[in-house]
Structures are given as C-alpha cells and as structure tokens.
Chains A and B, each alone.
Chain A
Amino acid sequence: MRTLLVLILSAVLIAGCGGGQWTHPAKGPAELSRDMAECKMLARDIGRNKSHTGKRVELIAYQQALHSCLAQKGWTLADPGKAPEKPASGSQVLLTRSGEGVLNFDQDRIVLPQDVRISKQSVGAFGPVIMDTVDIEGRIGQMEYSGQLIAQKLVTKAKFESILYNLNEPYFTYSVGRTSGGLRWRSFAVKIGEEWYGGVGSYWPLSRDRRVVITLAATLPGQTGPPPSGCRLTPAQGEALDRFIVQVLPWFENFKVKKKFRDYFRWEQYYFIWGD
C-alpha cells in the first residue's frame, strides 16, 4: 500500500519537475545522443544484473549507472533554465574546527574521540564529489589507532546511496552491525605486506548530497600458527579485533542517523524510476 502511495505521489511530483539537461563543455547534441546510447546499453546490463530475476531492469541501478557513465564522459546534468552545474574542481574546506575535539560539517557536529590528535587535513575532489579529509591518531587502551574522517559533498544532482561501508579485496569483512542510533558499520581486516590490520568503518549519511566516511584502524597481532580451516584470521587476531571494536563502538554511537533521512532515500528512489 505504501509503495503504491509512493508511486502515485512520485508521479505527481514528477509532473511538476520536468527533465534535466545534459551539458558538456566540448560536445554537442550529436555526441550526446551517441554517448547516451552507449551508456544506456551499459546501464541496462547493470540494471538487469541488479534485478532478482535478471529479466527486467532494476531502475534505480539503471539510473545510477546511466548518470555515472555520462558523468565519466564529461556530461553534467542541469535543471532547465539554470546554468549548468560545474563539476567538482579545486578545493573547499568542509570540516571546520569549533572548540576542542569538535568538527563542523555545515550544521552537523562531529565530536572526536578523547585525546585524539589531528595529524593532517586535506581537501580535494573526485568526479562530482568534493572531499575534505581529516587524518586522526589516538590510543584506545593498549591499542594505537589511526583513522580518517572524510566529509563528502556532491556538486551535481546525483545522490549518495544509503549503503553499508564498502570493502574490496584484500580487505575482508570481520563483522557487521548497527549502532543504537541507526548507523551501520562494518569491521574489517587486511594483510598488507607482513603486517595485519583491523578496523571499523561506516558511512554517516547527513543528507542526500552530504555524508562522512568514518574509518578507524589498528595493527593486529601477527599469525603464530595457521588459522582454522576456512578462516583467514587466527583466533588471537579475532580476539584483538573484537577488543578494538568494543572500544571504538561507543564513539560510533555519537553518529545518529536521522529517521527522516532514512525515509528520504525511498522517496528519491521512486522519483528516479519515473524521472528517467
């Protein structure tokens, strides 16, 4: 029933929205048509892959893939009547310090762990995302850790997806969970060279175009014997990572996910379906 309502309301919303316009600094309509056809084909494959049966196109995945593909080819989506949005370029400070151990990202506050040291702050951009990265270091119990807070802001009409902290090999998942404030986190481990590391990471969604990537990591003990069959870590490494997780999770409780924001993604998703 709710889905139906969403569909109906979305249709009403879209009726007043109109479509955006793709613009490119060097290409014209003919090139757009060619790029669009190419990207649609690619997006369709991705959309099918993301659907349960593989027979139909999953429209959200399709839309995201299409936007991403066109963006990679240099196209930018703009509202009709408005000046085209500029791709992210240059640098912009997103995280400002206010008081001891507090960072501000627009109106949102980030309280840093106790006795933390900010070692570096750098700004940059990647595609349509501008980023402000703060490197931190500290100690929890006997474990020293280092971490990163990456404030990200989108400068195009694209939206951040509400997803679990992403990992790729050689990183692998140790455990996943959710704080009482609704923040989903993933703990991980990795072997780099001869060293083992473990950590916890999360995406803290703030709005459709702003989020903070939080990662804390520490060194794990080395392997004194082979791990159990089918495992990559030894029990001792697992215990060390567990201790680390137990100690950092109370800090993760500071990051509350707005309920309104969680719902927001659903609305956006259906907007996308009909807005293509």
Chain B
Amino acid sequence: MIRSAPPLKRQYLEVLLHALLCLLLFALHPALASEGSTNSLPGYAGYSGLWDMPNARVLPDWKMRLGYSLSYPYYYFHTTVGLFDRLEVNGRVTGIRGVPALEEDYGDYKDKSLDIKLVLLKESGRLPALALGANDIHGTGLFSARYIALSKRIGAVDITWGLVQGMLGGKSASERLEEIPEGSDDPGFAYLFSRDTDFVGYWGIEWNLNERLSLAVEYSPIDWEEVNGGNEAESNITFGLKYTLWEHLHLSLSYARGEELSGGVVVEFPLEPEGLLTWKREPKPIRQEKLLLQAAEADDGELARLLVSVLEKDGFIKAGVMASTPRLWVEIENTKYNSSGLAFRRLFEIVDEIAPERFTRLYFALIRDGVFQTGLAVSRGGMRHYVKSKIDTVGFLEFAELTHEREELWSGFNPEGATIMPARSRPKGWSLTLEPRLDSFVNDPSGFFKTAFSLDLAGTVKPWPGGMWAARFSVPLYNDVSTSNEVEEPEPASTDIVDYLGRKSPHLTAYGYDHIFELPSAVRARLGVGAFEAAFAGFGAEVFRYFGDGRFGLGLQGERVWKRDVDNDFRLDEDNETPYYTYFLNLYGQPFGRSGVEVGLRLGRFLGGDDGARFEICRTFKHFTIGAWYSSTDTSGFESSYNRGYHDKGVFISFPFSSFRDGPVRGRYHYSIAPWTRDPGQMVSQFRTLYPLGSEPETIWSVADSIWEARR
C-alpha cells in the first residue's frame, strides 16, 4: 500500500514548483548544463543523499568519508565506506540536544546506528540508478527505515525519487514496534526483516552549478514530531548548498524543515596506500665494480657472505644466503616494503647485479620472525624476463613456482642433500620503541567519551628463529576511564576491565614469551606464556595451516588464563583464582576471488564460559583493512541481565604507514572499536597469532597478487 504524502502548505508548494521549473530549465539548457559525476555527497547523517533523504548513489569503491553535521536538535558524527561501487556502509552516532541521557555525566542522549545501501542497477542510458537501503539496522532502531531510491542525472541535475518506510517514512517508533515480533531484543534488525508494507514517496533534486557548488532540495515525509527529541516541522522541504572547498573537503549549508539553519563538514578520501605524499621512486641499486670483482673471484661461500652484506646495506636487516652453483638460496624478512612483490623485485635486482652468471636458478624465501612463509623458485632468465617486460602474474607463474613448504623449496635447491653452510646477517635481536597510545571508549552510561592516553615503552627480543620475548610498559599521561556499570558476574570476563584500564600509575601491561614452530607439511604452531594483556596472564597455544594457495586455512586455538592482580604486575588476583579457558576451531577463507574479502569463523568456548561462534568479515585491499565481527554465544550461564542475550560485536580498521610517507614502507596502524564492559563473546589477546584474518599474510595467493602490484 502506498500512503499519500501529507499535504504541503500552499506557499511552499508554489515556491517549490517555481524552483523546480527553474532548475529544470537551467539544467536542460545545453549552455548551462554541466556534466557532473554521479557520485553524491552525503546528507546530514552521512549516507549519500540529499539532506535527510538518501539517493541511489554510493561512494566509489574503497573510498571513505568522515563527517560531522548539525541540524538542530540533531547532530551527527559519521563514517562511511564505499565497497565495489555497489555498496555503502555508514556508521553514525546521532546526538539529540535537549534530550538527557539516563545519567547526567553522559550528556545528551546519543544513539549509534548502522546504515547500508546497495545499488541494484547502475545508471545507464535512459535508466536511472536503483538502490535498496536500510537505516539503523541494529540495536534500538530509533531511526530504522527501509527505502528504494531511483536517481537519474539529466545534464547537471541529479533527480531522485523514492519510496520509504519507517522513520524516514514518517512512522513513529511505537508504530514500527507494531511491525516486529513482540519482545524482540534487537528492534533495528527485526524491522529490517519486518512485513511493514506502508510506503511513502519522497523526492529530491541536486543541481551541480559548477564543479564545486551544488544546490540540493528535498521533500521528506519524516514526521519529526514522532522522532525522539523532534518537533513538528514547519515544512517538509529542506534546501541548501553543498560546496567543495578542496578536493577532499566538502561543506554544506541548508535551511532544514523550514525552520533551522543547518550545516556539515565532510572529508572524503580514497583508501590508497600512496596517500598524503607522492611516493618517490627508489633508486636502483648502484652497480659497484668492486662488488662485481669480489663476486667474480668468490667461491660459493664467499659469494653468500658478500650477498648478505650487500642486502644488509640495502636495508634488508634479516637476510640469509646459501650458494651451491648453479643454485642460489636467498631468504629475507621483508621489513622494508609494504608488499612482498616489491621485496622480491629489489632482491632480484641486487642478486642479479652481483651473482656471477654461473648461478642460473634462484630460490627466494620470505621469512617472518624466523619462520618460513612463502618460497619462490625461478630461473634467473625468467626473473629477468619478469622485471624487464610487461608479463602479468599468470605469465610469471608459468616459469616460477611458489610454495608454503620450506621442504619443497629446499629439495629443489639442494636435491642431493649436501651440507651447505649458510651466511646470515646478524641483526640486532631486540627492538625498543616508545609509542604514544590513545584508547578511546565510547558509550558508557557514565560518559559518552572516555580516553586513556599513555606513553608505552614496547620491547621485543628475538633470540632465535621463532622465539620472541615481549614486554610493554605503560606510563599513563591522561586517563578518565570509569564506568557506572556494576560488576555482577562472580567471575567476570570483561565487565571488571575498568579496574585495569583505569589505572593511573605506570605499570607493565604485558610481558612474556611466544614461540612459533615450523612443523612439517606447512603446519605452524605457536605457544605463548605470560601476561598477555592488562587483565589476563597464563598460557596460549595455536596451530594453523593454509590450504590450497593460501586462500583457505584451518586452525585450533586454546588459552588457559587467570586474572592479574590490579595492584601488582607480577601477581595473579588472589580474590579470583578461577582459571578461565577458551578453545576454538578457527576457519579462514577468501571466498570471493581477488576482491580482498576475508571471512573467518571461530567456533568454541569464549572467556566467559559461553559456547558459540564469532563471525568475522573484513576486506583487505590496497593495504587497508576494514572489518567487523559479531559473536553469537549461549549467554544463559550469565547472571547479569546486562550480559544475557548480548552478542559481542565491533569494527576494526588497519591503515598503512605508507599513506603518510613518501615510499611504500612496511607497517600498519590498527584500531578497533568494541564494547568493553560486557562478558559474552570475549577472547584474550596473544602476543602474536597465526590466524591470518586482516593481517596481510604472505601466502602464495597474496604474494602472486603483490608480484603483479610490483610490476606497475
């Protein structure tokens, strides 16, 4: 059933029709029409649209948007990402001025929302773009809505028309509750799949006056009187300007609902590893006659030592070389580049420059923490062909072999099983870094935003292959972390975390030992012992193996830990001597080809003793990772109503150092946002993990990809 839109006031209708006519006349006039892109700027809430209403546009693939907007009494902080030119995911926090939260310290009432939009049909010829979308699909459902939007660009004008349900369609929260099963603990999600059949029409027009400025007007059927904190709107029409100040910075100013001057600021940027600064081309290794003379006169052992020294000088701090004419084995830990393809390429340039022509077969091994990751066996001529010509990955792999198994690479290099002495670099086996650390905690009842800022001294010692001692000493500089939530569980997994995170004196956050073992058939195992994180100390173990070319993997993991004493870094909590244990079957896969989408499933027992599953999905693309997790566990064992029926979830992002540097350097920043005062679905951190989701593992699958990346 399609409901008729509420009647417009006559004067607004006249103004609107006049404006519409003008817009169309101008837009259709060839001299005045300017072609604009079909990418749309956001409305107030962050999703691509007009003001309050969405259109059928989405952010381009792997582009991100951050913004703030104010349309009194509502204000929005939003983050949006575009995926595959089809999907747009928008996360926002909506604050409502004048509506108090349950606790005074929290400030205004605030609500988190997740919005998604899927373009079913892209605009082509005479056909408009068609998108399906839903707002606030999880949680309280304060702003839940569903819509179909059509957008068509005519000249410089982008016209949108759509049908909408829920909050955007003028339906109150109580009316929406009638559409979902009674007692639903997730009204937002329940409304997404409800049988609501009431649709209301809406429309909007965005006119690109020039490359920087556009004028947007919309008719929205939202009944603001029925929205939390809202009042009856003076008009259903909102109009205003959107202005592109710089390439990535957009401003908007509008007259909303016939009563409020509103505005917003948005930053949009592509998720590209080459970000703020243009990457400089790395000069080719300098051809040094002295090295060539030394190499020409060297025996196999001397050549290996010479190559190690050259690789060290070039920045490969962990290198090992074995020479057995006509074969040459070179292993490195790639601490230099964000891509293993670039590391291989540089390695080859150096080796090919120095090694005498009697070496015709090359064996490259990528090592991480002393443990074999992926090997490449290739003829010297084939590698030259790859470096100097434009062959693609498929072509390259016709004369190169990649493997996860050290034994396989080794048997090719040393088929006779001879004793060959390796030459190895002697890297310093330790590292010590001073890291400013900022942890933000949102949405505790006692305050929306809590911060812990500390200066951490993080150290590792890697005394032998696979082994690592680790410690982190934290000096809090600012900390206002607290909670008004009571700890109700006798043996809480996480609800007492504030006792640990709120410490204001220097302390050892973590310390212990971790070892990764190379087992036969490319199986890897890991054992860890120590204080893994602020709250837990104990033991952890894990095994993992990739299957196929590294697109899939299977592992087992378990931890047995105890609560640490809050006041003594070297003791366990005497008031809670109960051991916590976890065990999981870990499944990993990249089922969607080269899209970069990774999925993971952990089945087993979580820290709070709850059995169940944790589903993880992320996309790792161009060295960025964006992902989310959701757990579904049996919470019947918890005593607190706060924990019962709760499903743990969170989002995470990793972005490469290279986006702030002038070269493709290695390393990424990681950040995650998750609830921290609930017990279900919790896991304990480890110093390292074999489970590869979102970590850019050096598998055959990814190395083949990066080899092609290095060609460009």
Contact = CB atoms under 8 A, between A and B. Distances in A.
Interface of A: 1, 3-4, 7, 47, 49-60, 172-176, 187, 189, 227-233, 235, 238, 241-242, 273
Contacts of A174: 288-290
Interface stretch (B45-53, B103-111, B189-197, B278-286): B278-286
Contacts of A52: 274, 278-282, 663-664
A3 B288 contact: no
B707 to A, nearest CB: 16
B288 A50 contact: no
B10 interface: no
A175 B290 contact: yes
Given A4-B660, A52-B664, A230-B296, A242 B277 contact: no
Contacts of A56: 274, 278-279
Secondary structure type dominating chain B contacts: loop
Contact of A59 (B278, B286, B661): B278
Contacts of B712: 53-54
A175 B289 contact: yes
Contacts of B279: 51-53, 56, 58
B296 A231 contact: yes
B356 interface: yes
A189 B279 CA distance: 33
B357 interface: yes
Nearest to A55: B274
Contacts of A55: 274
Contacts of B288: 173-176
B578 to A, nearest CB: 42
B287 interface: yes
Interface of B: 274, 276-282, 286-293, 296-297, 356-357, 660-664, 712
A233 B293 contact: yes
A219 B177 CA distance: 94
18 contacts: A3-B277, A3-B662, A4-B276, A7-B276, A51-B281, A52-B278, A52-B282, A56-B279, A58-B278, A172-B289, A173-B288, A174-B288, A230-B296, A230-B356, A230-B357, A231-B292, A232-B289, A233-B289
B535 to A, nearest CB: 29
A3 B290 contact: no
A60 B662 CA distance: 11
Which of B286, B290, B660, B712 has the largest number of chain A CB atoms within 10 A? B290
B278 A238 contact: no
B280 A238 contact: no
Contacts of A58: 278-281
A229 B289 contact: no
Contacts of A176: 286, 288
Contacts of A60: 280
Contact of B661 (A3, A229, A235, A238): A3
A232 B293 CA distance: 9
A231 B280 contact: no
B280 A51 contact: yes
A57 B289 contact: no
Given A3-B660, A3-B661, A52-B664, A231 B289 contact: yes
Contacts of A187: 290
A165 to B, nearest CB: 11
Contacts of A229: 296, 356-357
Nearest to A60: B280
Q: State the 10 A-B residue pairs at the shortest beta-carbon distance, nearest first.
A: A52-B279, A228-B296, A175-B290, A56-B278, A174-B289, A238-B293, A231-B292, A58-B278, A51-B278, A52-B281
